[in-house]
Amino acid sequence: MKDLVLIGGGGHCKAVIDVVEMTGEWRIAGIVERPGSPIREVMGYPVIGYDDKLQALAERFPYALVTVGQIKSPDIRERLFTSALQSGFEMATIVSPLARVARSAVVKAGTVVMHFALVGPDAQIGVNTIINTRALVEHDAVVGDHCHIATTAVLNGNVIVGDYCMIGSGSICREGISIGDRCLVGMGTVVRKLVPQGTLFVGEKSQ
C-alpha cells in the first residue's frame, strides 16, 4: 500500500478516511493541521505535522490529499493543494469502491469521489475537487478545478461547471447548461439556465 498524508483534520477528513480505508490501496500516514490547531488525532490517525512544514513531510511520504471541506469558498483548499504540489507531494486521486466511475471518464489529481457517487461516460472532473456522497455527474458533463459537488447533487448530461464552484446538496442542474467560475448554487436549487461567473444562485427550489 502507498503512504498518504491527509491535509486538514475536520469533518470532511473523517468522511475521506472512511473512503480511503475502504479502498485497501492506501495507508494513512497521518494528518496535517494548521499551526496552533488543538487537534491531535482524527479517527485514530495522529497529527504528524503542520501545513507550514509540508516540504519536510513530502520528503518522507510521497502522496497527499487535501481533506479540508468546501462550502462558501474554495480558497483554503486551493492554497493547500498548491502548497502541497510546490512542496513535492504527488496528489492522490481517491475513488470509493462503492462509487461508479465510467471507464471513459477522467478524474484528475487531488480529487475524491465519495461513496455511491456516479461519474458517467466521458465526464471530466478537474483537480482538487470533491464529488460527494451520492452525487451524480452524468455523461459528458465537465466539472472544473477546486469544486465541490455536494451530497445528492445532480449534474445532468453535458452540464459544464467552471472552476472554484460549489453545487449545493440536492440541487439539480438541467442538461446542457453552463455554470461560470466561482459560483455557489444553493442547496436544493433547480438550475435551468446559464449561471454567470461569480453568481450566488438560490433560485428555484426542487419539490
Query: CB atoms < 10 A from the CB of 186, how many?
Result: 17
Domains of the chain: 2-92 (3.40.50.20), 93-198 (2.160.10.10)
- For the chain, the average pLDDT equals 96
* Rounded distance between C-alpha atoms, residue 157 and residue 141, angstroms: 5
Q: Which residues contact 9 (CB under 8 A, 6 or more apart)?
A: 31, 32, 33, 37, 39, 42, 47, 67
The x, y and z cell numbers of residue 192, run together, are: 435551468
Strand order from edge to edge, sheet including 106-107: 106-107, 124-125, 142-143, 160-161, 178-179
Confidence (pTM) = 0.96
Give yes or no for residue 204 having a pLDDT over 90: no
Counting residues of the chain whose pLDDT is more than 70, the rounded percentage is 98
**If you average pLDDT over residues 177-197, what whole number do you get?**
97
pLDDT in tens, 11-58: 999 999 999 999 999 999 999 999 999 999 999 999 999 999 999 999
Give yes or no for residue 100 having a pLDDT over 60: yes
